[in-house]
Every structure is written in C-alpha cells, then in structure tokens.
Amino acid sequence: MADKYKIQGGNQLKGEVLIGGAKNSVLKLMASAVLAKGESKIYNVPELTDVEIMLEVINGLGVKTHHDKEEQSVTIDATDITSVTAKYEYVSKMRASFIILGALVSRCKEAIVALPGGCAIGERRVDFHIKGLEALGAKIKIENGYVHAKATKLVGTDIYLDIPSVGATENLMLASILAEGSTRIQNAAREPEIIDLANFLNTMGADVTGAGTSEIVINGVKQEDLHPIEYTTIPDRIEAGTFMSMVAATKGKAIIRNIYPAHLTFFTDKLMKMGANIKLIEPTAIEVSCKNRLSSVNFVTQPYPGFPTDLQSMAMVLLSTANGVGIITESLYENRFMQVPHLIRMGADIHQDRNHAIIKGVKKLNGATVVASDLRAGASLVVAGLMASGTTIVEHLYHIDRGYEKFDQKIRNLGGDIIRYNDETSDEEVRERNESRI
C-alpha cells in the first residue's frame, strides 16, 4: 500500500533540526568514486531512495558497495569494473545517475548508459553532454534508449555550454579527468555541488581549477595518479531552504544546523524581505523566526547564485498567504508549477500564465487531499499542510522520499503534527509514529 502523510496544520515549528548531506552532491560523488581503483568512503550520506538507486547503478558495473546507514556512509570499491552498462531499470528512475556516463568513458573508454529519467519537471535534454563528449574524442550513437560512447583516447579541448547545465558540467568534468592535455569548460554551472565535486576529484588526485566560476579547467592525469579517498559531503542547501520556509510559514522559531549559509544567500535575502528574521548564530547554524504575516515579493528562478528553482515551490507556498500580490517567474523548467492545482484546492489564489505565476495572498489555506507530483512540489505541499487550517493528506510520498531523509520525523521533532501511514496502518502504529522523535 502506498504511504501518505496526514498533517494537522496550525502548529508553530520550534526547536532544532539537523540538515543532512546534499542529495545533489553525494550522488555525483558516488559516481566519481569509480574513477579510482580501490576503496573510497563517503560520509554524510543521507538515507534516500535516490542513494539506493545510485548504488544499484554502481553495483551493476561490478563495483562493490556498502551502505552503512547508522554511520551515514557509503563505501565504494572500484578495484574492478566488469561491465560498462548502466541499465534502464535504474537510470530511468533518476536523472542524476546519467553522470556515470562521464566516469565510465573516462576510466574504461566505453560506456552504455540508458537515457535518464527522474521528476517530470520539463525538458532536460542531454545534447550538451553528448556534444561535449564528442568534442573530447568520443564516438556517440543512441540506440534503443541507450547512449553508446566509445573512445580510443580522449583529448582535452575547449567546450562551451549554451546554458550552464549542472549535469553536463559534471559529466564533462569526469570525462576530462583522464584525458590527454587540458579541457576548458566555458559557461560552466557554478553550483556549490560543482565545487564539492571538484574538491572530491582533486582529493583523489585530479587537477581541477575554477569550480564555482563560469570557467573550469581540467588538466588530465594518468590512471595511476588517482587513488581512493575518504570524503565528507556538503550539507543539503535545498533541504535547509525547505525547513527555513516551513518555520517562516508556521510563524515559528527554530535553529537549523549543519548548513552552509553562503549557499543560500539569495534565498535568505528574499525571506528577510518578506519579513522573516534570520540570524547567523554559528558558522554552520542559523536561527529562523517569524512573528507577523509575510509580505509578497517577486521571485525569478536563475542558475546559481540566483534564486534556486528547487525552492520555487516553497516560495509559492509562502506567497499564498502573504500580504499583497507576488509573481514567480520560472525561467529554467516549463513544468515546474505542478503544485499549483493542489495549492488552489487548498484555497490559494494563483493564476498561471505559461512560466509566470501570479499569487494573491489569502488569509489562510485549508486542508485538503493533495498529490506529490514531483520531489520539490511534494515537499511544498507538506509545508502548505503545516500552515493550513484543518487536515491535509499528501499522497505519492515516493517522490518526497527521493530527496528528504526522515522528513516526517524531523518535522515532528519541531512540533509539527504529521504522521506517515497507509490504509493498512493500525491506530496503534499511527500513534507510535506520531510520538516518535529522532
């Protein structure tokens, strides 16, 4: 039976919450670990279904893995790679697994990788990945839903990306690590997860400079120069932004720990303009509070360091009960407003015109049964349920499980009234879950 959340809205969230490792970073680090022969270990690994999918992808290559959930670590022994095929049954579930293409081409000079899947938030083509690999010397053909890449050798070159695609930047970084000479990626993505990947690769013995800027240079090294490592993943800025939104939405007060505040500068600035109070209390901890009704502002999603598209749905929830009218422009993905009909069911006043959403703040939202259509839209509906009057049921939790670790437990720890259940869950089990704490 499919699990659901049952949320009784109206509680102010108070206390402390610990943010986990960055989903959008750890998945790429896991793929990168196959570049070096031997056993690498990654720490601060969140317990997510996406992590399990990436482990399946890597195991399918003949690489040995071990996931220690208690230690929050993953061990990857890539001494031997016995297959260069990443199967459809796994890659189709999660777009991030497509980065294994660059790692395999780099180390094995051959890869057969299924075209990627993931949340249906809009067109995310792999053209930039393919063109970049071809520029490095790989021969590419696409057959029966698989990308076949082969190279006698890879040679460094200049690659210009038409848009600063995160996935293409990462794939081409990995493909260039063992190429002859230097590769320069221009108009590269600048996200913190790109910097984390570069730091991981450099610790492994690679030579990457410029990560975090629009130009990344990779000087190729030899296979014997790479060695297995131990590495700790950065905190998840999107999870942090979700809990910041949650606290502000419920007019609560909470400390959010294990956060890199610099990664959320743009989002923090917008929240403060709306009327939230945000204080830095430690280098990796902030206090978020909100006493009064928020005020509307406009949001435009942009590549980093602009406003993150992954937090657009949270911003929409905050605007739904803010004073005034706010406009959100989604400039990156055309299907990123899938939370809109569900918020309207809850009483929000939202008018959508293509990639623009005009949100007129209402006094309150009302509980309703809603469906998580994708990862971030699903999380935003949980935020909406926590601030709404009455009971909200959120269905299709498998989307949320892809990116939020122990989500309901963390919310309960802050005083939120949320339980996870299915139609076969007994009343006693529901009660036990509702009383559980981390």
Active site residues: 119
SS3 175: helix
**Strand 391-395 to 4-8 pairing:** antiparallel
Q: What angle do CA 149, 152, 155 make, to 5 degrees?
A: 90
SS3 57: helix
Helix, strand, coil % in the chain, rounded to nearest 5: 35, 25, 35
Q: What angle do CA 206, 209, 210 make, to 5 degrees?
A: 150
399's tokens: 């989307």
Question: Where are the strands (E) in 32-109, listed by range?
Answer: 39-43, 64-68, 73-77, 85-86
**Strand 39-43 to 230-232 pairing:** parallel
Identify the residue whose tokens are 């796994």.
90
Residue type, 221: V
Instruction: Compute the Cα dihedral for 265, 266, 271, 272 and give only its sign.
Output: positive
**Strand 64-68 to 14-18 pairing:** unpaired
